[in-house]
Amino acid sequence: MKLPSPSRLRIVLYPNPVLKKRAVDVGEFNAEHALSGEWIAALAKRMLELMREAKGVGLAAPQVGVGLRLFVCNPTGEPGDDLICVNPRFIERSGGEEREEGCLSIPGVTVTMRRAMSVVMAAFDVDGKPFQATGTELRARIWQHEMDHLDGRLIIDNMSATDEIANRRAIKQLQDQYRPPRRS
């Protein structure tokens, strides 16, 4: 995998095909490996910057064109609440609630999504240290949304007929504005 310079990354918009691909696990976290901890930390830092600039609460690596299982989030906007999750997986989900969700990669589109109200997640931090966390309500919703991105799923994959009608114009505009990336 060719690693882009994190400083050059931008949020990728629908219908870019990278958004529909399942991301791959981040391998070993060491200096000799292509995915050094330093590069992962720089990627996560840039993703947090882009998320804040776009006034979002979460951003997955595929949303910046990087097909790795990594996401960042911050449900409160407070710098101390930044969370970086590498190779996340859900251990448990419970409850359920329907709410509208938007997506930084699909601006102008909102879709009613049913999500678990509580989730337990296991992941690694940027230094490769494992951790486990429990998220409820908004935090749980954000984690599930970002995990969908890591699996190549988008909120528009779950649209009801009402959502399709309400979002038709915005989706068409994104499709019309899309320019495939140039091959280098």
Active-site residue list: 146
- Give the other-Cβ count within 10 Å of 75's Cβ: 17
Helix (H, G, I), strand (E, B) or coil at 101: strand
Give CA separation, 156 vs 14, 57, 100, 153, in Å. Answer: 10, 18, 12, 8
**Exposed/middle/buried for 65, CB within 10 Å: 0-12, 13-18, 19+?**
middle
